[in-house]
Structure 1
Amino acid sequence: MNKQLSILGMLLFFFSCSSTKQISKNSSQIQGNNNTFLITEISTDKTYGLSPKNPVEVGGAKNSQGPKNERRFLNALAGPNGEKISYYRAGSCCPVKSKNDPFGFGSVMLDNYRVTWENSKDTISIYINMYDSGKLKAPVGFTIKK
């Protein structure tokens, strides 16, 4: 048992000391105050961000910017008529395959955010992957914050 704990400790040390110089390819999309991504397109794919099978890929986990990138993405969204949105992180879910898994298992967990806006009848789930980077778009049903 002690040998297993020692090996686990060494693995944790190794991963915590690995290089963090990789920068998310979405970092070039950060707007002025550093809290919002610049998004210029609304997706036509009805599953983009709204299904765990097609999550928004904000990247940033390798340089400790993953959660901040998730908020940067959400901060760029508005409701269907430009309404200010509110959101909260409902938790992690849904393993997906990723070459960027920090533990080497080949899959990572998505974060699920619940999003709503004034006079909305529903709260919408948006699934976000902070380990991989992709082109950022507003999901169907949302607009881009001005």
Structure 2
Amino acid sequence: MIKNAIYLLFSFFIIGCVSTKSTLKNVDYKATKPKIEKGKYVITEYANDPKYGYNKEYPINIGFANLHSEEYFVKLFFNGLTNPEGDIFSYEKIETCCPFPSNHNKMGVGLLHKYRVTFNNGTTKDLYINLYEKGEILCPNGFKILAN
């Protein structure tokens, strides 16, 4: 009972904090997901916009994935990349943030997931990933597409 009341209160809080207009600038419902080969997305293009992935208004829109499959789709994305030197890196989800209106969630609200990437030399980069809306899946600046 208390758990349901807390969930309901949280839901009203989130919905009340979300504008009816999305702040996401790079949603593209016509975009198709990259092919999957050997446990990774086959990413073929580099992002032209330096904000892509780094700014909450320009997240990496993986699109239409439920929270139960978040880990799978995020892994496909990161497995398709290397650091600029061609080395593998580690990543972890550090935050869920930034509510926005979405028709792809029963509550009408989507959230961004912020991931921290750590390269072998200790350098870190934070990327925003969106599981609710679609867009082109590109290689962000500061990364390299993993060769097949």
Structures share fold, TM-score greater than 0.5: yes
User: Which residue is equivalent to 2:59?
Assistant: 55
What is the TM-score normalised by the length of structure 2?
A: 0.71
User: Which residue is equivalent to 1:15?
Assistant: none
Q: Does 1:29 align with 2:35?
A: yes
User: Which residue is equivalent to 1:135?
Assistant: 136
> Deviation at 1:60?
3.9
> Deviation at 1:64?
4.5
User: Which residue is equivalent to 1:110?
Assistant: 112
- Taking a change above 3 Å as real, the CA distance of residues 61 and 141 of structure 1, as seen in their structure-2 partners, is same
SS of aligned partner of 2:40: coil
Query: Which of structures 1 and 2 has the bigger CA Rg?
Result: 1
- The answer to whether the 8 Å contact 2:64/2:104 transfers is no
Pairs within 5 Å for 1:88-99 = 88-99=92-103
Percent identity between matched residues is: 33
SS of aligned partner of 1:74: helix
User: Which residue is equivalent to 2:84?
Assistant: 80
Distance of 2:133 and 2:118 partners within structure 1:
25
One-letter amino acid matched to 2:120: E
In structure 2, stretches of 5+ residues that fail to align are 9-30
- Aligned-pair RMSD on alpha carbons? 2.6
Distance of 1:89 and 1:114 partners within structure 2:
6
**When the two structures are aligned, how many residues end up with a matched partner?**
122
Distance of 2:65 and 2:48 partners within structure 1:
27
One-letter amino acid matched to 1:144: I
What is the TM-score normalised by the length of structure 1?
A: 0.72
One-letter amino acid matched to 1:48: Y
Listed one character per residue, the Cα deviations across residues 14-68 of structure 1 (whole Å, up to 9, x for unaligned) are xxxxxxxxxx942x5211x3x3111011101010001111100112424953331
In structure 1, stretches of 5+ residues that fail to align are 9-23
